[in-house]
Amino acid sequence: MFSDSSMHIMSNTFYDLPQLRQRISVFRDRKHAGQVLAEMLQEWKRREAVVLAVPSGGVPVAVEVARALELSLDVAVVSKILLPWNTESGFGAVGFDGTVWLNKEYVDYFGLDQPTIEQQTQAALAKVQRRVKLFRADRPWPDLKNITVILVDDGIAAGSTLLVALMALRNKEAREIIIAVPTAHQESLVRIMDEVDALYCANIRSGPQFAVAAAYQQWDDVDETDASRMLVSYRNRESAQEKGKRRTCKNGSKAS
Protein backbone atom coordinates (compact mmCIF):
# COMPACT_ATOMS: atom_id res chain seq x y z
CA MET A 1 0.00 0.00 0.00
CA PHE A 2 1.16 3.52 -0.69
CA SER A 3 1.45 6.03 2.07
CA ASP A 4 2.76 8.80 -0.21
CA SER A 5 0.15 11.49 -0.77
CA SER A 6 1.20 11.63 -4.43
CA MET A 7 0.80 7.90 -4.99
CA HIS A 8 -2.07 6.13 -3.29
CA ILE A 9 -4.27 3.21 -4.24
CA MET A 10 -7.21 2.46 -1.97
CA SER A 11 -7.10 -1.33 -1.88
CA ASN A 12 -6.08 -4.11 0.46
CA THR A 13 -5.22 -6.30 -2.51
CA PHE A 14 -2.47 -4.18 -4.04
CA TYR A 15 1.15 -5.08 -3.43
CA ASP A 16 4.24 -3.16 -4.50
CA LEU A 17 7.86 -2.68 -3.48
CA PRO A 18 8.12 0.74 -1.78
CA GLN A 19 11.86 0.93 -2.43
CA LEU A 20 11.21 0.85 -6.19
CA ARG A 21 8.55 3.56 -6.41
CA GLN A 22 9.15 6.33 -8.95
CA ARG A 23 12.46 4.79 -10.03
CA ILE A 24 13.68 3.86 -13.50
CA SER A 25 16.16 1.21 -14.68
CA VAL A 26 15.29 -1.03 -11.74
CA PHE A 27 15.38 -4.34 -13.65
CA ARG A 28 18.33 -5.69 -15.61
CA ASP A 29 15.99 -7.30 -18.14
CA ARG A 30 12.67 -9.16 -18.34
CA LYS A 31 14.16 -12.28 -16.77
CA HIS A 32 15.28 -10.31 -13.73
CA ALA A 33 11.88 -8.60 -13.55
CA GLY A 34 10.19 -12.01 -13.50
CA GLN A 35 12.42 -13.14 -10.66
CA VAL A 36 11.52 -10.05 -8.64
CA LEU A 37 7.81 -10.68 -9.25
CA ALA A 38 8.19 -14.33 -8.29
CA GLU A 39 9.55 -13.29 -4.89
CA MET A 40 6.48 -11.12 -4.37
CA LEU A 41 4.19 -14.03 -5.32
CA GLN A 42 5.72 -16.73 -3.11
CA GLU A 43 2.42 -17.41 -1.32
CA TRP A 44 1.16 -18.92 -4.60
CA LYS A 45 3.92 -21.51 -4.88
CA ARG A 46 2.52 -24.95 -5.76
CA ARG A 47 -1.02 -23.67 -5.27
CA GLU A 48 -4.04 -24.43 -7.46
CA ALA A 49 -3.14 -21.73 -9.95
CA VAL A 50 -1.89 -21.20 -13.49
CA VAL A 51 0.35 -18.47 -14.90
CA LEU A 52 -0.84 -16.84 -18.14
CA ALA A 53 1.61 -14.72 -20.11
CA VAL A 54 0.55 -11.84 -22.34
CA PRO A 55 2.74 -12.37 -25.42
CA SER A 56 5.14 -11.50 -26.62
CA GLY A 57 6.83 -9.27 -24.01
CA GLY A 58 5.15 -10.92 -21.05
CA VAL A 59 6.47 -14.39 -21.89
CA PRO A 60 10.05 -14.13 -20.52
CA VAL A 61 8.67 -12.50 -17.36
CA ALA A 62 6.02 -15.18 -16.92
CA VAL A 63 8.49 -18.03 -17.50
CA GLU A 64 10.47 -16.92 -14.45
CA VAL A 65 7.30 -16.54 -12.36
CA ALA A 66 5.95 -19.96 -13.34
CA ARG A 67 9.31 -21.66 -12.81
CA ALA A 68 9.81 -20.20 -9.34
CA LEU A 69 6.24 -20.93 -8.25
CA GLU A 70 6.26 -24.39 -9.88
CA LEU A 71 3.06 -23.67 -11.79
CA SER A 72 1.82 -24.43 -15.29
CA LEU A 73 2.33 -21.76 -17.94
CA ASP A 74 0.04 -20.76 -20.79
CA VAL A 75 -0.76 -17.60 -22.75
CA ALA A 76 -3.56 -15.03 -22.92
CA VAL A 77 -3.28 -13.59 -26.42
CA VAL A 78 -4.65 -10.07 -26.87
CA SER A 79 -4.24 -7.33 -29.46
CA LYS A 80 -4.95 -3.63 -29.78
CA ILE A 81 -7.48 -2.54 -32.38
CA LEU A 82 -5.21 -0.11 -34.18
CA LEU A 83 -6.06 3.24 -35.64
CA PRO A 84 -5.82 2.97 -39.47
CA TRP A 85 -3.04 5.54 -39.67
CA ASN A 86 -0.98 4.37 -36.67
CA THR A 87 0.83 1.09 -35.95
CA GLU A 88 1.08 1.69 -32.19
CA SER A 89 -2.03 3.51 -30.95
CA GLY A 90 -5.39 1.79 -30.68
CA PHE A 91 -9.03 2.51 -29.92
CA GLY A 92 -9.87 -0.84 -28.38
CA ALA A 93 -8.66 -4.40 -27.95
CA VAL A 94 -9.51 -8.00 -28.78
CA GLY A 95 -9.15 -11.00 -26.46
CA PHE A 96 -8.13 -14.60 -27.12
CA ASP A 97 -11.76 -15.76 -27.05
CA GLY A 98 -12.96 -13.11 -29.50
CA THR A 99 -14.05 -10.63 -26.83
CA VAL A 100 -14.02 -7.09 -28.26
CA TRP A 101 -13.66 -3.93 -26.20
CA LEU A 102 -13.95 -0.47 -27.76
CA ASN A 103 -12.88 2.79 -26.19
CA LYS A 104 -15.98 4.85 -27.02
CA GLU A 105 -14.22 8.07 -26.09
CA TYR A 106 -11.49 7.43 -28.66
CA VAL A 107 -14.00 6.32 -31.30
CA ASP A 108 -15.86 9.61 -30.92
CA TYR A 109 -12.71 11.73 -30.66
CA PHE A 110 -11.26 10.36 -33.91
CA GLY A 111 -14.63 10.31 -35.66
CA LEU A 112 -14.31 6.66 -36.65
CA ASP A 113 -17.17 5.37 -38.78
CA GLN A 114 -18.63 1.87 -38.54
CA PRO A 115 -16.89 0.42 -41.63
CA THR A 116 -13.52 1.57 -40.27
CA ILE A 117 -14.27 0.13 -36.84
CA GLU A 118 -15.28 -3.21 -38.34
CA GLN A 119 -12.27 -3.36 -40.66
CA GLN A 120 -9.77 -2.63 -37.90
CA THR A 121 -11.52 -4.99 -35.48
CA GLN A 122 -11.41 -7.82 -38.01
CA ALA A 123 -7.69 -7.20 -38.54
CA ALA A 124 -7.11 -7.45 -34.78
CA LEU A 125 -9.21 -10.62 -34.55
CA ALA A 126 -7.19 -12.21 -37.36
CA LYS A 127 -3.95 -11.32 -35.58
CA VAL A 128 -5.19 -12.86 -32.33
CA GLN A 129 -6.30 -16.06 -34.05
CA ARG A 130 -2.95 -16.38 -35.80
CA ARG A 131 -1.02 -15.87 -32.58
CA VAL A 132 -3.21 -18.27 -30.61
CA LYS A 133 -2.37 -20.96 -33.17
CA LEU A 134 1.31 -20.04 -33.06
CA PHE A 135 1.64 -20.04 -29.27
CA ARG A 136 -0.84 -22.77 -28.37
CA ALA A 137 -1.02 -24.95 -31.53
CA ASP A 138 -3.90 -27.38 -31.05
CA ARG A 139 -3.55 -27.78 -27.30
CA PRO A 140 -6.91 -27.72 -25.47
CA TRP A 141 -7.55 -24.63 -23.41
CA PRO A 142 -7.04 -25.33 -19.67
CA ASP A 143 -10.17 -25.53 -17.53
CA LEU A 144 -10.00 -22.37 -15.41
CA LYS A 145 -13.06 -23.06 -13.26
CA ASN A 146 -12.08 -22.95 -9.58
CA ILE A 147 -8.54 -22.01 -10.61
CA THR A 148 -6.57 -18.89 -9.71
CA VAL A 149 -5.12 -17.18 -12.78
CA ILE A 150 -1.94 -15.11 -12.46
CA LEU A 151 -1.87 -12.87 -15.53
CA VAL A 152 1.64 -11.62 -16.29
CA ASP A 153 2.87 -8.90 -18.66
CA ASP A 154 6.11 -6.92 -18.83
CA GLY A 155 4.35 -3.69 -17.80
CA ILE A 156 1.21 -1.59 -18.03
CA ALA A 157 1.06 1.75 -19.81
CA ALA A 158 -2.60 2.37 -20.69
CA GLY A 159 -3.95 -1.05 -19.73
CA SER A 160 -6.50 -1.51 -22.53
CA THR A 161 -5.19 -4.91 -23.63
CA LEU A 162 -5.18 -6.18 -20.07
CA LEU A 163 -8.77 -5.04 -19.64
CA VAL A 164 -9.92 -7.21 -22.54
CA ALA A 165 -7.82 -10.11 -21.23
CA LEU A 166 -9.65 -9.79 -17.91
CA MET A 167 -13.01 -9.82 -19.70
CA ALA A 168 -12.04 -12.99 -21.56
CA LEU A 169 -10.86 -14.68 -18.37
CA ARG A 170 -14.12 -13.83 -16.63
CA ASN A 171 -15.88 -15.57 -19.51
CA LYS A 172 -13.78 -18.63 -18.68
CA GLU A 173 -15.14 -18.44 -15.11
CA ALA A 174 -11.74 -18.24 -13.45
CA ARG A 175 -12.15 -18.38 -9.68
CA GLU A 176 -9.70 -15.59 -9.00
CA ILE A 177 -7.67 -13.30 -11.26
CA ILE A 178 -4.39 -11.78 -10.17
CA ILE A 179 -2.39 -9.36 -12.29
CA ALA A 180 1.37 -9.39 -11.81
CA VAL A 181 3.55 -6.87 -13.66
CA PRO A 182 7.05 -5.52 -13.02
CA THR A 183 6.11 -1.89 -13.73
CA ALA A 184 3.04 0.28 -14.35
CA HIS A 185 1.68 3.79 -14.35
CA GLN A 186 -0.32 4.62 -11.24
CA GLU A 187 -3.40 5.82 -13.13
CA SER A 188 -3.58 2.61 -15.15
CA LEU A 189 -3.50 0.55 -11.97
CA VAL A 190 -6.34 2.60 -10.52
CA ARG A 191 -8.41 1.95 -13.67
CA ILE A 192 -8.08 -1.82 -13.50
CA MET A 193 -7.96 -2.34 -9.73
CA ASP A 194 -11.68 -3.01 -9.40
CA GLU A 195 -11.53 -5.63 -12.15
CA VAL A 196 -9.09 -7.97 -10.39
CA ASP A 197 -8.88 -9.86 -7.13
CA ALA A 198 -5.29 -8.81 -6.46
CA LEU A 199 -2.58 -6.80 -8.18
CA TYR A 200 1.18 -7.11 -7.78
CA CYS A 201 3.41 -4.41 -9.25
CA ALA A 202 7.04 -4.10 -8.21
CA ASN A 203 7.74 -0.64 -9.67
CA ILE A 204 4.96 1.95 -9.81
CA ARG A 205 5.41 5.40 -11.28
CA SER A 206 3.28 8.48 -11.81
CA GLY A 207 3.65 11.65 -13.83
CA PRO A 208 2.81 12.91 -17.32
CA GLN A 209 5.40 10.77 -19.10
CA PHE A 210 5.62 7.01 -18.78
CA ALA A 211 7.29 4.23 -20.74
CA VAL A 212 7.36 0.59 -19.72
CA ALA A 213 10.85 0.32 -21.20
CA ALA A 214 12.21 2.91 -18.76
CA ALA A 215 12.02 0.36 -15.94
CA TYR A 216 14.54 -1.87 -17.73
CA GLN A 217 18.28 -1.45 -18.19
CA GLN A 218 18.13 -3.76 -21.22
CA TRP A 219 15.01 -3.51 -23.37
CA ASP A 220 14.59 -5.42 -26.61
CA ASP A 221 11.45 -6.38 -28.47
CA VAL A 222 10.55 -10.03 -27.98
CA ASP A 223 9.63 -11.47 -31.35
CA GLU A 224 7.03 -14.19 -31.79
CA THR A 225 9.59 -16.87 -32.62
CA ASP A 226 11.54 -16.29 -29.40
CA ALA A 227 8.36 -16.18 -27.32
CA SER A 228 7.12 -19.43 -28.88
CA ARG A 229 10.47 -21.10 -28.24
CA MET A 230 10.39 -20.09 -24.57
CA LEU A 231 6.88 -21.49 -24.15
CA VAL A 232 7.76 -24.80 -25.82
CA SER A 233 10.91 -25.10 -23.71
CA TYR A 234 8.97 -24.54 -20.50
CA ARG A 235 6.25 -27.02 -21.47
CA ASN A 236 8.83 -29.66 -22.38
CA ARG A 237 10.56 -29.18 -19.05
CA GLU A 238 7.24 -29.36 -17.21
CA SER A 239 6.28 -32.53 -19.09
CA ALA A 240 9.63 -34.18 -18.31
CA GLN A 241 9.26 -33.36 -14.62
CA GLU A 242 5.75 -34.82 -14.58
CA LYS A 243 6.98 -38.04 -16.21
CA GLY A 244 9.77 -38.22 -13.65
CA LYS A 245 7.28 -37.91 -10.81
CA ARG A 246 5.12 -40.66 -12.27
CA ARG A 247 8.13 -42.99 -12.61
CA THR A 248 9.12 -42.27 -9.02
CA CYS A 249 5.60 -43.04 -7.79
CA LYS A 250 5.47 -46.23 -9.89
CA ASN A 251 8.83 -47.45 -8.62
CA GLY A 252 7.81 -46.64 -5.07
CA SER A 253 4.63 -48.69 -5.44
CA LYS A 254 6.61 -51.67 -6.75
CA ALA A 255 9.05 -51.47 -3.86
CA SER A 256 6.27 -51.54 -1.30
Q: Where do the domains of the chain lie?
A: 14-255
Backbone angles phi, psi at 253, to 5 degrees: -65, -40
pLDDT in tens, 81-140: 999 998 888 999 999 999 999 999 999 999 999 999 999 999 999 999 999 999 998 888
Q: Which of 31-35, 125-129, 247-251 has the lowest mean pLDDT?
A: 247-251
- Residue 8 pLDDT exceeds 60: no
CA separation for the pair 94, 77 (Å, rounded)? 9
CATH of domain 14-255: 3.40.50.2020
Mean pLDDT of the chain: 91
pLDDT given at position 253? 55
Long-range contacts of 2-10 (CB under 8 A, 24+ apart): 2/204, 6/206, 7/186, 7/204, 7/206, 9/186, 9/189, 9/190, 9/193
DSSP letter, residue 26: -
Tell me the mean pLDDT in the region 162-176. Answer: 93
pLDDT in tens, 212-242: 999 999 999 999 999 999 999 999 998 787 7
- Residue 1 pLDDT exceeds 80: no
From the list 62, 43, 15, 47, the residue with the least C-alpha distance to 196 is 15
